[in-house]
Structure 1
Amino acid sequence: MISVYSVLVLILAYLFGSIPTAVWVGQAFYGIDVREYGSGNAGATNTFRVLGKQAGIPVMLIDILKGWTATNLAYLLSVTAIGSHHTAAFINYQLALGIAAVMGHLFPVFAGFRGGKGVATLFGMILAIHLQASLLCVGVFILVLLTTKYVSLSSIMAGFTYSIGVTFVFPVYIKSVIIYSMCICVLILVTHQKNIERLLKGKESKVNLFKSKLA
């Protein structure tokens, strides 16, 4: 049974996700809105592109923390409310909280509902739910990034790796986690549609994480 308290925690998770880190950092320290430059997204990747690593690294870490914190808000509820820790009911509620945070990042109430693509926040979510599969994603992301310098391609490959990880490498027996891992693949493909088009045309920009591109 869904209680009013559990709904309020879901709203809190959305608000955590809605913190527009890239927008606030850009405006507070550089006097610009990163959504007006680069890819036009309010995320860590575009922050790296526009402002460089000094802004990109904090934005990325905070966006990851948003997803991790929101997902772990499940621990605020009593065991009798959602079941004991690591049970299907508990994991399902964590998934709901993580999804709320990702939706907050995509459509942030604090930034006119114009957010980023949610990859860093999504990573924070899966980090809270399945550590081993998440670390596998990190390995694949870094490998693809170092090889191609395409952050978009790295994100897509990492998303598919998570689904493979929870299904075959570190199998879980909670169906909702497996289903959600497949949904992650779809979400990343949808949010990176333009990137995929540019990749196929050879027009996707490569990212130098150690150099600012802001003129």
Structure 2
Amino acid sequence: MNTVFAIVLAYLLGSIPSGVWIGKGFYKTDIREHGSGNMGTTNTFRVLGTKAGIIVLVMDILKGSLATLLPLWLNVPIHPLFTGVLAAVGHTLPIFANFRGGKAVATSAGIILAYNPLFFTLAITCFLIYLLLSSMVSFASIAACLSAVLISLFMGDFWLIVVTMALTTYIIIRHRENIQRIRQGTESLVPFGLNYKRKNKQ
């Protein structure tokens, strides 16, 4: 019974639409109707500002971390990465938001943070470097995920490799529209980084 409870709870945790609830509750704004139309962290920053963006970022990371820790807390024979992945699925297909979810980058980061902090640190470092170079959250997210796959190969953990590959594939699929805009040179830039400075000088 605890196993079923852990599985359901992991999905429900991931389904919490942080950006939608923060936007509607405190800003009277449905962020899915503005910006990119996504309910995730990046669009929250874009539409609602830094304070709301940070809150949603923390909430989305926590969803992944809490779900990953459920097997330990409930003492059930499930691999923690499995419940973590269920949270990522919940984030992209949330029952509380008509199955219109985000892209699972922050939630995936939360999974890795709870499971392997060193791996998380290496992956987030890659993300920050790519972000500073490209000034694009989407590009940095995809590139960091691909780097994480390579890093996972040296961690000596079979399931970490499998889940990292699965999450990376899922995240890339969720970013297919962003990839098209990156190719066209029309992807949105954050107001910092080398690419942003270069384009502003032109």
User: Structure 1 length as normaliser, TM-score?
Assistant: 0.85
1:111 aligned partner: 97
Picking from 2, 5, 8, the partner of 1:8 is 5
**Long gaps (5+) in structure 1:** 83-89, 210-215
Question: Superposed, which structure 2 residues align to 1:25-174 within 5 Å?
Answer: 25-78=22-75, 81-82=76-77, 93-168=79-154, 171-172=155-156, 174=157
Moved more, 17-26 or 177-186: 177-186
Post-superposition Cα deviations, 1:75-103, rounded to whole Å, max 9, x if no partner, equal 1233xx52xxxxxxx6xx21110111111
Structure 1's consecutive aligned runs of 4 or more residues displaced over 4 angstroms after TM superposition are none
Distance 2:17 2:165 in 1: 27
> What RMSD over aligned residues (CA atoms) do the two structures have, in Å?
1.4
Letter matched to residue 185 of structure 1: T
Q: Quick one: distance in 2 between partners of 1:30 and 1:102? A: 26
Shift in Å, 1:188: 1.6
CA distance in 2, matches of 1:185, 1:95: 14
Greater RCO, 1 or 2 (C-alpha within 8 Å, sep 6+) = 1
Secondary structure of 1:114's match?
A: coil
Deviates more, 1:47-56 or 1:175-184: 175-184
Aligned to 2:196: none
What code does the residue aligned with 2:158 have?
A: K
Fraction of identical pairs, as percent:
44
**CA deviation vs aligned residue, 1:67-126 (integer Å, no higher than 9, x gap):** 001100111233xx52xxxxxxx6xx2111011111111111111111111110010001
- Specify every segment of 5 or more residues in structure 2 that has no aligned partner in the other structure, as ranges: 193-202
Classify the secondary structure of the residue corresponding to 1:26: helix
Output the CA distance in 2 between the equivalents of 1:138 and 1:181. 14
Q: Is the contact between residue 141 and residue 154 of structure 1 (CA under 8 Å) also seen in structure 2?
A: yes
Letter of the structure 2 residue corresponding to residue 67 of structure 1: G
1:175 paired with 2:158, answer yes
Instruction: Tell me the TM-score normalised to structure 2 length.
Output: 0.91
